[in-house]
Amino acid sequence: MLLWSILLILAGSVFAGPIFRSAGSRTGWLLAAVPAALFLLFLLETGSVMVGDYPVVGIDWIRSLNVGLDMRLDGLSLLFALMITGVGAFILVYAEGYMGKHPMKGRFFSFLMLFMASMLGLTLSDNIILLFVFWELTSISSYLLIGFNHEDKSARWKALQALLVTGAGGMALLAGLLLLGAAGGTYSLSGLVSQGTALAETELGRIALPLILLGAFTKSAQFPFHFWLPNAMAGPTPVSAYLHSATMVKAGVYLLFRLHPVYGASDLWIQALVLCGSITLLYGAVLGLFQRDIKRILAFTTMAVLGLLVMLIGLGGELALKSAILFMLGHALYKSTLFMTAGNVDHETGTRDARLLGGLRRAMPLTALAAGLAAFSKAGFPPLLGFISKEYVYKASSALEASAPLLTVVALCGNAMLLALALKVGLHPYWSRVPERAEGRPWSRFLPRSPHEAPVSMILGPLFLATLGLVLGLFPGFWSAAIVEPSLAAAYGAPVEVKVALWHGFNLPLLLSILTVALGLGIYMVRQRTWRKQSISEKIARRDPERLYDFSFAQFVDKSKFVTRLLQNGSLRFYLWVILAAAGLLIGYKLLYLGGVEASWDPANVGFFEVVLCLSMLAAAAFTAFAPSLLHALAGLGWIGFSIALIFAYHGAPDLAITQIIVETLTVALLLFAARSLPKFRNYTPRGKRTADIVLSGIAGVLIAALALKANALQLFPTISSQLADWSYVAAKGKNVVNVILVDFRALDTFGEIIVLGIAAIGASLCLSSGMGKSGRQYGVSPILCTGAALLLPIFVVLSLAVLYRGHNEPGGGFIGGLLAAVGYLLYSLAHGPEAAERKLLVSPAMMIGVGLLVALLSGLFGVATGAPFMTGGWLPTFSLPLLGAVHLGTPLIFDVGVYLVVWGFSLQTAFALQAHANPETAR
């Protein structure tokens, strides 16, 4: 049920768009049915959760990393799940009315449901990695929702700010959770929590704490990371009501509740939570007093309440935690109501400016009723839920042994200011006189819109949630045992009996409550006269930690631009210099560190011929580097290539020698084609830079030579070659070990390589697809060449087939065969032109590549069909044929045919393209 609930909401998110297109203005109601049904289902679980029978889900996800889709519904998760689905259902209905005829409404619902699923997942996760994934998902969906009006630049900026702040905190949280997991030896949240305070005393546990706190504080907008929350009001009102008051910002609080059994006794925990919490409480409330926008006022009071909750969790103990849970529940109810009623006011009057609003009770009686109820709950008047929770806050703070007076005063001041703000937001717009400035002018010209009651969808939620605050306050006995007790047990770490009552008799908390009311009313009165003064608020804003965010953001962008300009200046030469110099330094250092290089010189070991060959290669290298033209360079390259083929041949590598010779031939042909269209060598670099280049390449050359010697001398790991050689005939039925490695042992590598060839062919022919105009070239001029090429073509093809067939046992194979066949066609193409050559080929080279890849793939799939891994070879029984003798047939040979076709097709595809490009007008 736990996993399905999340998947169901996610499905709602995915299909919100299509549903909106067909259901239109019923979308919100339809979608709300999902969380509403889930709310009831969660409610049914209270029975089992109460007796400690927690529903769990455990599905393997990434087993090697110990990450599972583990979920667990204990009391705390249940409380959050009820808040998320219960408030969520009304928010969806509300959004239906609020978004009206917004063209992107489907998308809005989709984001909202995505958030709902992530938030639910966060509270249900029992695996800390899973929890982190959902944690980040809430940040991302919050980003999408705050920046929903993405045409507005400031909305985008604010959304990014929220994402960066909570995202940075999320990174810290991840580190903290991993450390905590390492400390506890498990990623299971319940497993970690059950280890209790012992976990907090491990070294890793101690290091994890500040990181986890960073994550929780950024998410729950604690000072000094609070500034993103008021800015998040750029999102549409349903978002503010849901994410930024009732649910997402409480994720941090949730985490703190969760980890209280672990860290509750740690000094850092207590100090950080109490200090940051109380600062946030007072700072948020004071800033709220200086706002005009009723939505911003609500944002600041949310911040203040979050501060109070954090402070209470920091105080710890049964009483403080109980008051925090009650306060959080009350807050979820009244704050989402107040946001929605503020949204109604905004929607129906066109303004949220507290100075302009007044006397709306006539036009919007139901909204006024809901707002009034919520405001009374927020203000802490009996008999509402807010009253009870406030009583418990005072009970908790005054019951402390140390620092009781100070914290009680903090709570008192905070509550008094919250009361004043509750009146400002929940009562003032509806019950005050019509503002002075409006008198003498008609109401309609004064407000952007003439006020009237909001539609049903926008009234239902506020009225219901506000009434719920009243009902829960009137009858605390019958639900507290079912809801508060289990969640308190999870946060406290041990079962606690809870009796919540509305009336506690005449005692200190009641006195403090009365004091709060008096003080709050006083603040309200004073503020009422001075509401228009903004100077103090601006002064505070100049010193707000948000300036630090702005500063570092600007610096970051600035420095990034500088570094980019410095390193990515568009000069390839510069890039190469940086790379080579860095690589050179590292390699040089490493070589020295490893004790330098030893070069041996034994004249007896070196033949005269080899010395001459190598010396000629040195000369050719220098000649190529300083060649005056491309043709000269080609000559040098050719010499080097054929010399390397000789070296291969001398050292027992006939396959390599043959491949090298054919590739050399093809390369020279391609470069010759290109030489027609490539510009001549030109010297662009001044002499000084050229000298520097010579020095750098000289140093690089020395390092490469040293590296080669070092690599030759070192043998770090035992080679697997002898095993490959032992298996070659026995297991893979091939006597040419090199070919067996290519088509059998490492066939997957080879498959990747021929795919690369295919892609290169497509890329090359796309590059050349639009021809440049150049003078045409006459083909078929030389009769000897024409006849010779035509005669040789079939010989090359037959030869290539023979090489392909015998490759498994003797030098040859698909690579060499393909290249050989290509040479034959290239010769024909030189004589008769690429078009004629392609006609001789019957199919296009591109088709050959495709067929070749398909053949290779199918030969690999044969193994899969028999249940073995991809590319496992399969063989037919040996049989005899006349002429060929004993024949082994198996999938590696078919694979080699695929290689043959791809190499053949690739060579011709690029060669024909280059040739045609050099001579676009091919003539007969």
Partner 1 sequence: METLVAIVIGALGAASIYCLLRRSVAKFIVGIALMSQAVNLLIFMSAGMTRGEAPLIEGDATTLASGYADPLPQALILTAIVIGFGLLAFTLALSQRAIQSVGSDDLEDFDNTDK
Site for partner 1 in 581-600 (CB under 8 A): 599-600
887 beta partners: 879
Residues 425-484 that bind partner 1 (CB under 8 A): none
Cβ proximity to partner 1, 606 vs 791, nearer residue: 606
Stretch that binds partner 1, among 411-419, 451-459, 474-482, 640-648 (CB under 8 A): 640-648
Of the candidates 280, 342, 335, which has an alpha carbon nearest to the alpha carbon of residue 312? Answer: 280
User: C-beta of 180: minimal distance to partner 1 in Å?
Assistant: 44
Question: CB-wise, 514 or 606, nearer to partner 1?
Answer: 606
Closest contact distance (angstroms) between CB of 640 and partner 1 is 6
Q: What is the rounded distance in angstroms from the CA atom of residue 689 to the CA atom of residue 769? A: 37
816's torsion region: left (phi>0), alpha (psi -120 to 50) or beta?
alpha
CA distance 558 to 242: 36
Point out which span in 408-416, 476-484, 752-760, 784-792 binds partner 1 (CB under 8 A). Answer: 752-760
Amino acid at 396: A
**Interface pick for partner 1 out of 1, 630, 792, 846 (rule CB under 8 A):** 630
In terms of phi and psi (left: phi > 0; alpha: psi -120 to 50; beta: otherwise), the region of 813 is left
Site membership for partner 1, residue 708 (CB under 8 A): yes
Pick one of 24, 365, 405, 763: the residue that binds partner 1 (CB under 8 A): 763
55 binds partner 1 (CB under 8 A): no
Single out the segment in contact with partner 1 by CB under 8 A; choices: 442-450, 534-542, 877-885, 912-920. 912-920
CB 427 within 8 A of CB 542: no
Closest to partner 1 by CB, 7 or 579? 579
Does residue number 672 form part of the binding site for partner 1 (CB under 8 A)? no
Q: Which of 524, 648, 828, 895 binds partner 1 (CB under 8 A)?
A: 648
Paired tokens of 321:
């935690």
Q: Residues 150 to 169: which contact partner 1 by CB under 8 A?
A: none
Among 41, 481, 653, 799, binds partner 1 (CB under 8 A): 653
Residue 753, interface with partner 1 (CB under 8 A)?
yes
Q: Considering only the stretches 17-25, 84-92, 193-201, 621-629, report the one whose residues sit in contact with partner 1 under the rule CB under 8 A.
A: 621-629
Q: Is residue 622 within the footprint of partner 1 (CB under 8 A)?
A: yes
Which residue in the set 518, 526, 578, 611 belongs to the binding site for partner 1 (CB under 8 A)?
611
Question: How many residues make contact with partner 1 (CB under 8 A)?
Answer: 116
612 binds partner 1 (CB under 8 A): no
Structure tokens at 731: 């297991």
Q: Is residue 633 a contact point for partner 1 (CB under 8 A)?
A: yes
Residue 142 in contact with residue 219, Cβ under 8 Å? no
Task: Say whether residue 639 binds partner 1 (CB under 8 A).
Answer: no
Question: What does DSSP assign to residue 423?
Answer: I
The answer to whether residues 627 and 681 touch, using CB atoms and an 8 Å cutoff, is: yes
Q: Which stretch binds partner 1 (CB under 8 A): 149-157, 220-228, 852-860, 903-911?
A: 903-911
Whole-Å CA distances, 253 to 12, 99, 216, 283, 801: 27, 30, 7, 18, 73
- Using CB under 8 A, pick the residue from 109, 115, 815, 828 that binds partner 1: 815
Q: Which is nearer to partner 1, 719 or 775 (CB)?
A: 719
- Is residue 802 part of the contact set for partner 1 (CB under 8 A)? no
Structure tokens that stand for 778 in this block: 């006459």
Smallest gap from residue 723 Cβ to partner 1 (A) = 10
Dihedral angle of Cα 197, 200, 202, 204, to the nearest 10 degrees: 150
Alpha helical stretches, state H, 350-451 = 365-379, 385-398, 404-422, 428-431, 443-446
Amino acid at 33: A
Q: Tell me the angle at which helices 456-474 and 75-99 cross, rounded to the nearest 10 degrees.
A: 150
Q: By CB under 8 A, is residue 64 in contact with partner 1? A: no
If one asks whether residue 801 binds partner 1 (CB under 8 A), the answer comes out as: no
Instruction: Name which of residues 500 to 539 contact partner 1 (CB under 8 A).
Output: none
Nearer to partner 1, 104 or 646 (CB): 646
**8 and 34 in contact (C-beta within 8 Å)?**
yes
CB-based contact 621:636 (threshold 8 Å):
yes
66 versus 643: smaller Cβ distance to partner 1: 643
Q: Decide if 211 contacts 175 (C-beta within 8 A).
A: yes
Q: What does the alpha-carbon distance between residue 391 and residue 789 come to, in Å, rounded to a whole number?
A: 102
The residues facing 57 across adjacent strands are 71
Asked if 399 interacts with partner 1 (CB under 8 A), we say no
Residue 760 interacts with partner 1 (CB under 8 A): yes or no: yes
Site for partner 1 (CB under 8 A): which residue of 535, 605, 866, 880? 605
Which residues 716-735 are close enough to bind partner 1 by CB under 8 A?
719-722, 724-726, 728-730, 735
Q: What minimum distance in Å lies between the beta carbon of 563 and partner 1?
A: 14
Stretch that binds partner 1, among 215-223, 491-499, 500-508, 765-773 (CB under 8 A): 765-773
- Considering the rule CB under 8 A, would residue 604 count as an interface residue with partner 1? no
Contacting residue, 548, 586, 678, 802, with partner 1 by CB under 8 A: 678
- 225's CB contacts (< 8 A; 6+ apart) are 165, 169, 217, 218, 545
Closest CB to partner 1 among residues 252, 818: 818
In the complex with partner 1, the residue whose CB is nearer, 51 or 720, is 720
Amino acid of residue 13: S
SS3 293: strand
Give the position of tokens 């590696």: 892
Binding to partner 1 in span 819-878, by CB under 8 A: 819
User: Helix or strand or coil: residue 153?
Assistant: helix
φ, ψ for residue 61, nearest 5 deg: -125, -75
Q: Does 608 bind partner 1 (CB under 8 A)?
A: no
